[in-house]
Amino acid sequence: MALRKDKTDRKVATSEITDYGVPHVAIIMDGNGRWAKKRGWPRLAGHRKGAEQIKKIVREAPDLGIRYMTIYAFSTENWKRSLIEVLGLMKMFRFMIRREADALAAEGVHLRFIGDRSRLDPALRETMDQIEDRTRGNTRLTLAVAINYGGRDELRRAAAQLAIDHASGKIGADELDDAALAARLDTAGMPDPDLVIRTSGETRISNFLSWQAAYAEYEFTETLWPDFTVEELTEILSRFGNRDRRYGGVKT
């Protein structure tokens, strides 16, 4: 396995992950609330700490060979949480997006959002639209943030659009294939994730990228998201590089 050193003289695994094309890492960032509770702090303090970790991971991701990253920020089920937590999260999303816009643009990050925006506050939607437009031409890293996202909801919306397009004559019956559905998913234009990471010790996928992650590799770590480091991500990528991915086939 090849190793190189980055500008801080920290060893970074490059391995053979590039053999699979442009790598896409998806992360279920779990454990913010538990991290805060262990310290006797409100749950939102954990979310704020988790947001700081996102910045660190995103900054280093391209140097680790990652070109696409999708992070699970708020699910369609998270509306069930307390009103204080939900409102606090929405306020934090808007603040963080605005605050980090310049840095993301300068670092070549293309920021896009996936999920159903119809339930989000209009001011937040406007902020999301603005930074998507501003960073659209960036190519160093595509960062997809899932807000009010659920895999089943995404498939329902894509299937509904496919039915509308078929009924209107935009697409024929012989064109109703996997590619047609994928083109109507929120992640259209992005490669499927190669690797899905979930923090906090939970071992379920929680309605995340149900279609896209059908052939992804999974890593589950006990680390709570606010404690997840670039070094741990590097170790996970090293293990990923040693996996034998056959996509249902058999190598001779």
- What is the overall mean pLDDT for the chain? 89
Average pLDDT (208-230) is: 96
Q: What is the pLDDT of residues 184-214, one digit of tens each?
A: 999 999 999 999 999 999 999 999 999 999 9
**What pLDDT is stored for residue 252 in this prediction?**
57
Tell me the C-alpha distance between 241 and 19, whole Å: 9
Closest CA to 32 of 54, 10, 12: 54
**39 marked as part of a ligand binding site:** no
**What pLDDT is stored for residue 244 in this prediction?**
62
Residue 249 — pLDDT band, cuts 50, 70, 90?
low
DSSP β-bridge partners for residue 110: 142
**77 marked as part of a ligand binding site:** yes
Closest CA to 52 of 68, 81, 29, 34: 29
What residues contact residue 241 under an 8 Å CB cut-off, 6+ apart? 1, 13, 15, 16, 17
Q: Among the listed ranges 21-30, 62-71, 75-84, 138-147, which one has the minimum average pLDDT value?
A: 21-30
**88 marked as part of a ligand binding site:** no
Tell me the C-alpha distance between 116 and 157, whole Å: 9
Q: What fold characterizes domain 19-150+195-241?
A: Undecaprenyl pyrophosphate synthetase (3.40.1180)
Geometric angle at alpha carbon 150, from 120 and 177, rounded to 5°: 120
**211 marked as part of a ligand binding site:** no
Domain range annotation of the chain: 19-150+195-241
Q: What is the pLDDT of residues 104-134, one digit of tens each?
A: 999 999 999 999 999 999 999 999 999 999 9
216: left (phi over 0), alpha (psi -120 to 50) or beta: beta
- Taking a C-beta distance cutoff of 8 angstroms, is the pair 93, 51 a contact? no
Residue 18 — pLDDT band, cuts 50, 70, 90?
very low
Residue 72, pLDDT > 60, answer yes
**79 marked as part of a ligand binding site:** yes
Residue 177, pLDDT > 80, answer yes
User: Which residues have a catalytic role annotated?
Assistant: 30, 78
Residue 84, pLDDT > 60, answer yes
What residues contact residue 235 under an 8 Å CB cut-off, 6+ apart? 13
- Taking a C-beta distance cutoff of 8 angstroms, is the pair 210, 153 a contact? no
